[in-house]
């Protein structure tokens, strides 16, 4: 039997321990970071300072801005009306150890009318400029209900070309444009076709599972498996069988399956609540919905 002298034993033991340390470090580096954000759709009566302070005080890491007070076009908000004000907002957010993770534009990509189409694409470009100044990585755009009487394939091509055009505008920035499933564009295969056809380092998508599942009932696991490559951000909301938004965990949306798919895929983006108080004034107030989400979503995370 081969024996080890003291020097060889120490050397081999050191290599073994180094291997263990490396393995543990590798494991630690793959630990999932569950970062939380919420859309300002949840709080249409709050000022930007109120929004920032609430996020910092209630366990959130980021904010998704989709309107402030009465204004839904962020490029017209007084908070962003000058270079100095934008810099001040950025510093305030960073001082609170928060991130403006996404700017939600009203840009719709399905329009064929040249004037309307240009107006929507121009808006997205203004948002990219603003996002760059705010150090925000994403601008959200979307399709809505596809026009009746027009060729569906041609409309899908318009959506694809719109993403390509906006991404080309963003190529010198650190901003990416994200498509949100919306309206008639919520099926897995349709979204995959759009993403694959417009593939670009400045293009991705928001996985809004409620928008998709509430219409198609396609399994979230299948959706994530096919679209994982393109998913940069998520939207969470729950809905009951009467299509009414309810607090997380009180509805029919398969939240557990969604979170499990994200964790299994080592998703490292934000889990963002899209509580649509701006569009649905009768649902719970933000003072209830936002703390509820930051508490309830954690129950779905692996320990």
Q: What is the pLDDT of residues 37-96, one digit of tens each?
A: 999 999 999 999 999 999 999 999 999 999 999 999 999 999 999 999 999 999 999 999
Is the pLDDT at 103 greater than 60? The verdict is yes
- How far apart CA 142 and CA 211 sit, in angstroms, is 12
Number of domains forming the structure of the chain: 1
Q: Output the CA–CA distances (angstroms, integers) from residue 208 to 205, 212, 271, 281, 283, in the order listed.
A: 9, 7, 10, 21, 19
Residue 122 lies inside a defined structural domain of this protein: yes
Element spanning 100, H or E: strand 99-108
- Residue range 238-282, pLDDT digits in tens: 999 988 999 999 999 999 999 999 999 999 999 999 999 999 999
Range of the domain at 104: 33-300
Q: Which two tokens stand for residue 75?
A: 């490029």
For residues 98 and 63, the answer to whether their CB atoms sit within 8 Å is yes
- Decide if 292 is inside a domain: yes
Domain containing residue 191: CATH number: 3.20.20.150
pTM for the model stands at 0.88
pLDDT at 33 over 90: no
pLDDT tens for 167-211 read 999 999 999 999 999 999 999 999 999 999 999 999 999 999 999
How far is the CA of 270 from the CAs of 111, 122, 172, 182, in angstroms?
30, 27, 24, 19
Contacts of 9 (CB under 8 A, 6+ apart): none
Residue 220 counted as domain residue:
yes
Residue 87 falls inside a structural domain: yes
Q: Confirm if 275 and 248 have CB atoms less than 8 A apart.
A: no
**Beta-strand (E) ranges in 131-283?**
138-142, 176-179, 203-208, 231-236, 238-239, 245-246, 270-273
């Amino acid at each position: 039997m081969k024996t080890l002298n003291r020097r060889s034993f120490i050397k081999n033991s050191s290599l073994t321990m180094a291997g263990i340390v490396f393995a543990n470090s590798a494991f630690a580096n793959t630990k999932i970071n569950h970062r939380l954000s919420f859309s300002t759709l949840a709080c249409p009566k709050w000022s930007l300072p109120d929004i920032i302070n609430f996020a910092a005080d209630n366990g959130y890491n980021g904010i998704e801005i989709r309107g402030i007070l009465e204004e839904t076009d962020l490029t017209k908000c007084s908070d962003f009306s000058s270079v100095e004000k934008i810099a001040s907002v950025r510093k305030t957010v960073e001082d609170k150890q928060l991130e403006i993770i996404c700017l939600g534009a009203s840009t719709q990509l399905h329009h064929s009318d040249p004037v309307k189409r240009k107006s929507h694409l121009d808006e997205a470009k203004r948002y990219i400029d603003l996002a760059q100044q705010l150090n925000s990585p994403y601008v959200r755009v979307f399709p809505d209900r596809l026009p009746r009487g027009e060729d569906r394939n041609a409309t899908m091509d318009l959506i694809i070309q719109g993403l390509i055009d906006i991404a080309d505008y963003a190529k010198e920035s650190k901003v990416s444009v994200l498509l949100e499933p919306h309206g008639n564009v919520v099926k897995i295969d349709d979204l995959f076709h759009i993403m694959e056809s417009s593939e670009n380092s400045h293009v991705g998508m928001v996985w809004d599972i409620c928008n998709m599942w509430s219409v198609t009932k396609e399994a979230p696991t299948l959706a994530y498996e096919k679209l994982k490559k393109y998913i940069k951000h998520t939207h969470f909301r729950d809905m009951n069988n009467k299509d009414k938004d309810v607090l997380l965990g009180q509805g029919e949306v398969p939240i557990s399956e969604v979170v499990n798919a994200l964790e299994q895929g080592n998703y490292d983006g934000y889990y963002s609540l899209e509580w649509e108080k701006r569009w649905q004034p009768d649902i719970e107030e933000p003072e209830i919905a936002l703390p509820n989400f930051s508490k309830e979503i954690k129950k779905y995370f692996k320990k």
